[in-house]
Structures are given as C-alpha cells and as structure tokens.
A and B are shown apart, each in its own frame.
Chain A
C-alpha cells in the first residue's frame, strides 16, 4: 500500500481529464448558468440589461395557466404511460423468461423501436393517428369498433390518449427486458426449494420472485419516471403540445420558453422541474424503503 504515487496519480488524472472537461464545460456550466438565469431577467431578444429580479420569473411562471395545465398533463403522461409500460412489460417478461427456440430473434425484432428517435416515433404515430387517412381510424372502422372517424390529434380529449399509446408502444419492450433481467437474477435454488415444499407457481411468484426483485423493480420504475418526464421528443413531433395545450407536458413547456428566447423563465421552469424530481425521488425511495431492503 503506497500512500501516494505520482505516476499513478498522473495516469488517473490524464485518463479522466477529457471526460471531466467535456461534462463540466458543456453540461454543468450551462445547467448552473441556467439556474442563475432563473433569478435574472434574461430575454434573448433584449440583452441590453439582465438585472437580477429575485423570484420574479417564478412568480410569472406560477401565475401562468399553461404552466399548471402542463403540470397536470405531466402527471397523466407519466402515470398512465408508466402503468401500461410496467404491466404489459411485466407480462411480456414473464412470457420471455423461459428459453424457447427463436427467443433471441424475437427479442431482436421487438427491440427495434429503440433504434428510432422519439422525434421519428412521433411522426410515425402522427401519420397513423391522422383523422382522415390514418390507418388506426381505418382499422377501427373496419372492425366495427367505431362508426365514424375520430380526429385523434385534433381533439383535446383524444390527443393525450394518442401520445400515451405511442409512448407505451415505444417503452414496453425495454421495460420487459429490464424486468426479465431482474427475474433471471433470482437464484434457481430458491425455486427448487419451493418446489420441494410443494408451493404452487402462483405462491412461488408471490413469495419467492416478488420479494427478491422488489428493490430492482423499485429502481427501474424510478428511473423510468424520470425518463418519461424528460421525454418531450415524441410529443414535440406528434402534436407539438397541442391542440390547445392539451398534450403540453412540463418539458415541452420548458422548450417553448427557450424557443421564445425567455431564458429567465426557462431557468425558473427548469429549477421547478428539478426540485419536483428531487423531492419526488427522496419521497419515493423512502416510501419503497429502498435503503433498508438493500
């Protein structure tokens, strides 16, 4: 055990330097500057003076009706997307758990949405949900589920459902694969022991599988919540937040502030999102007793 070794320290520093520089300069610096701007009047189209205005931006944002709509929509977007991604993903994971012929090939095919960007997925579903020429209307008409075309993306009542459908389509496979990995981490001996005890499949699932993967599931779900919240790409190209703000989520709202050039307000929204995420994460980790069960 050498306490200090110059060559070793130099090697470590040189290896880490490029990464640290890039992340500091192009991630942390702009994030911090954005946080400072939250307390400034900072409009791209009037940079003659950028005075500090305290909580002015927060007051302005919180006073805006669209902010609250976006916040409510964010709740729906995250909770409903997550619900379906989780349960459909879980079901798929259980079906894929045992090895069968062609499983690798099957996984390769169902994985393909992950090669696409949220932007392209949004476009794809925008075309399929089209009120006049959309294939979804056509299929629903043909099967007799509806008797009149629906303007899915044109009506505030349907637009959120539509973007969530697209998001679920995108996210289920990945959830399934994460959960599958978790399921495979359960030691086989536990099931063998349960078999010897004569426990049914259902009881095994409940008393062996679930307790064993609970912590992992809790973590995957948390990551997913953050991820879905930070995923405005699909909504951006599918509805642009419309109609009438009905599919605006907090991150599309944030992007609109940036495009509008009001970096002060964008900073305020960003900080509010960050605060929300952090307090939620702390609450969540506590609620799932994450620390203790490790």
Chain B
C-alpha cells in the first residue's frame, strides 16, 4: 500500500512538473525553428534544423536592444528606489508606534486590493500635465508608487524577525538610531532586501498597461510595449514573438530562481499571520 501511495505521489508530481514546464519548452523550441517548420503540419516537437534567425531579426529590424536597455534602466532605477523607500518605511512601521500608524498600514494594504485601472485615465492626464509622457522617468515614478506599499509591508515583516536587542545594544554603545540601523540591522536583512529589490525589478520589467498608456515613441518603449506593438490583430510573427519571449523571460527567470525562497517566505508569512 505504501509503495503504491508513494508511486502515485511521484507520478502526480512529475505530471505537474511536465505541465508547468512544457509551455516554456515549447516557446524555446518555436524560437529556434525556421519559419516553414513553425507552420509545418504535423507539428515538430523537436526542431529539424536549429536557427537563430528570429533572434537576429529581433535585434536588426525591431531594435530590441533599445527596448532591452529601456526596460533595464526603468526596472533598475525604480526597483532601487522602491527598495530604499521600503527599507526606511518598513523600519518605522516595525519599530515605532505613533499616531496614524494603523491608518497608514491600511492605506498601503488597500492599494493592493482596489482595481487600480480606475486610475489609469487620471494618471495619463497627470503625466501629461507633468510633461512626462513618452519619458522613462514618468514610468519610473509610477512604478515606484505602484510597488512602495508592497515593499514597505514586506520589509516591515523582515524587520520584525530581527531582535530589537541587537540595535539596542549598539545604541547603548553610543551609536545613533540611524547608525544602529545601517550598521547592525541592515546587514542581517540583506537577503530580504535583495529579494525585495529583485521582486520589484521583475514587476517593473513585466509591467504592461501603464507602459502602453504612457509610451508610444520608439525610443522610450519598454519590452512589453514593443511586444504589444508586434501584435496586429490577425497576424503575429510567432517566430520573433517566441524569441522576444525567451529574451525577456530568461533574465527574470534566473533572478526569480535566486530569490524564490525569500519571496515565498515573505508572502506566505504575511498570509498565514493574516
């Protein structure tokens, strides 16, 4: 009986792994097939001939290099700011009680639940008033705002796991609060901080709706915006699209794999604690 149960478990887990990974496999294979093979019936599950033409096309015709750089810039700057703001805000929320603390926490939590698309139109007008349409800086600002509540709440959770005694000891030794925070607490939290940064980075890297609302000039496009403009209603160049998907997903995949443990811990701790 035990044997059968174990076997069943292995089979189910393997099946789920297969189902999860197959789409990734399929997009990679598609990106490596020459055009006629992509549209060959019966389908080829293994490319008869491997080609990098779709990747070359991406960078020669579509200027994908610029989009990559734009995405990289926006994501790095926004994620950096989001993390720094979260480090500061999370600290005060974890270590102090002060009037308005509950309201602030609630205000941050609520942003995670309301349909923010209601703000899409007004944000467009605001960006237009500030002359930030078609500018990467505009996207950065909005992304920071979008991710600050999350980073602050997550950082607060991480701080709460660091014993207060640690800082108090440093303060007794004459360090100011800020010095104690920078020298003693932050080093302990580095993995958590790195995880928050990467999570924010991936979110910015992937964001679509704000980007397509604010950006339509070629030199300010981010990857999702560019890919969105590859889609015409009836015709998609699936080879290039598959190559673009691979190019845009591989870096985030690597980063995500590196921090998966912390993200899972952070989110689930939040959920389980209620």
Query: Which chain A residues have a beta carbon within 8 Å of chain B's beta carbons?
Result: 8-9, 11-12, 14-16, 18-20, 22-23, 25-31, 33-35, 37, 42, 44, 91-92, 95-96, 104, 106-120, 123-128, 132-133, 135, 138, 169, 172-173, 177-178, 180-182, 185, 215-216, 219-220, 223, 226, 229-230, 232-233, 236-237, 240, 251, 254-255, 258, 263, 266-267, 269-271, 273-274, 277, 294
For A91, the chain B residues whose CB sits under 8 A away are 12
B41/A133 in contact, CB under 8 A: yes
Interface contact A181-B269, CB-CB below 8 Å: yes
* Cβ-defined contact, A215 with B274, below 8 A: yes
Other-chain contact of B115, A8, A23, A30, A274 (Cβ < 8 Å): A274
Kindly count the residue-residue contacts between A and B in the assembled complex, taking CB atoms under 8 Å apart: 250
A249 to B268, CA, bound (A): 28
With a cutoff of 8 Å between Cβ atoms, the chain B residues found around residue A177 in the complex are 264, 268
User: In the complex, what distance in Å separates the CA atom of A28 from the CA atom of B103?
Assistant: 14
Closest 5 CB pairs of A and B: A270-B118, A117-B206, A26-B145, A181-B268, A30-B119
One of B84, B108, B224, B255 near A115 (C-beta < 8 A):
B255
- Chain A residues lying within 8 Å of B48, measured Cβ to Cβ, are none
Q: Is the CB of A26 within 8 A of B123?
A: yes
Q: Which of B19, B84, B256, B271 contacts A223 (CB 8 A)?
A: B271
User: Which A-chain residue is minimally distant from B23 (CB atoms)?
Assistant: A124
List which B218-236 residues lie within 8 A (CB) of chain A: 224, 227-228, 231, 233, 236
Q: Are A22 and B268 in contact (CB under 8 A)?
A: no
Please name 26 pairs of A and B residues whose Cβ atoms are closer than 8 Å in the assembled complex, sorted by A.
A11-B178, A16-B92, A19-B152, A22-B145, A23-B111, A30-B120, A30-B123, A30-B126, A31-B118, A96-B13, A114-B263, A119-B208, A119-B224, A119-B227, A120-B248, A124-B23, A178-B267, A178-B268, A178-B271, A223-B271, A226-B113, A232-B209, A233-B208, A237-B228, A240-B233, A267-B118
User: Chain B's nearest CB lies how many Å from the CB of A81?
Assistant: 16
Q: Write out the residue numbers on chain B whose beta carbons fall within 8 Å of the beta carbon of A255.
A: 117, 120, 209
In the complex, are the beta carbons of A19 and B206 less than 8 A apart? no
Known: A120-B249, A128-B23, A258-B213. A138 touches B274 (CB 8 A): no
Per-residue interface assignment for chain B, residues 1 to 27, with 1 indicating a CB less than 8 Å from any chain A CB and 0 otherwise = 000000001001100110111011011
**A33 to B123 Cα, complex, angstroms:** 9
User: In this complex, what residue of B is CB-closest to A263?
Assistant: B121
Residue-wise interface mask of B (97-136) relative to A, using a CB-CB cutoff of 8 A (1 in contact, 0 not): 0100000100110010111111111111110000000000
B117–A251 touching, CB < 8 Å = yes
Closest A residue to B209 by beta carbon equals A255
Stretch in contact with the other chain, from B60-68, B161-169, B237-245: B237-245
| Contact with B119, one of A19, A31, A128, A138 (Cβ below 8 angstroms) | A31
- Chain B: interface size category: 35 or more
Tell me whether A106 and B13 are in contact in the complex, defined as CB-CB below 8 angstroms, given that A116-B206, A277-B115 are known contacts.
yes
Q: Is the CB of B115 within 8 A of A270?
A: yes
Give CA–CA (A270, B21) in the complex, Å: 36
Please tell me if the beta carbons of B23 and A125 are within 8 angstroms of each other in the complex.
Answer: yes
Say how far A233's CB is from chain B's closest CB, in angstroms.
6
Pairwise interchain contact B142-A26, C-beta atoms closer than 8 A: yes
- B160 CB, nearest partner CB in chain A, Å: 16
Are A115 and B253 in touch, CB under 8 angstroms? yes
Q: Judging by beta carbons under 8 Å apart, are B116 and A111 in contact?
A: no
Residue B144, interface by CB 8 Å? yes
**Residue of B whose beta carbon sits closest to that of A240:** B233
Alpha-carbon gap, A266 to B125, bound state (A): 14
Residue of A23, A42, A215, A255 ringed by the most chain B CB atoms within 10 A: A23
Cβ contact within 8 Å between A254 and B227: no
**A44→B255 CA distance, assembly (Å):** 40
Closest to A290 in B: B274
Q: A115-B256, A237-B231, A277-B113 are in contact. Are A182 and B272 (CB under 8 A)?
A: yes
Q: Does B38 make an interface contact (CB < 8 A)?
A: yes
Q: B74 to nearest A CB, angstroms?
A: 14
- Nearest-CB residue, chain A, relative to B178: A11
Set of chain A residues within 8 Å of B23, measured between Cβ atoms = 124-125, 128, 169
Q: How far is the CA of A132 from the CA of B248 in the complex (A)?
A: 26
Q: A117-B224, A133-B238, A173-B20 are in contact. List 12 more A-B contacts (CB 8 A).
A: A22-B144, A26-B142, A33-B119, A34-B121, A34-B122, A44-B121, A119-B206, A119-B228, A120-B227, A219-B274, A230-B115, A274-B118
Q: Are A22 and B148 in contact (CB under 8 A)?
A: yes
Which of B19, B120, B177, B253 interacts with A169 by CB under 8 Å? B19
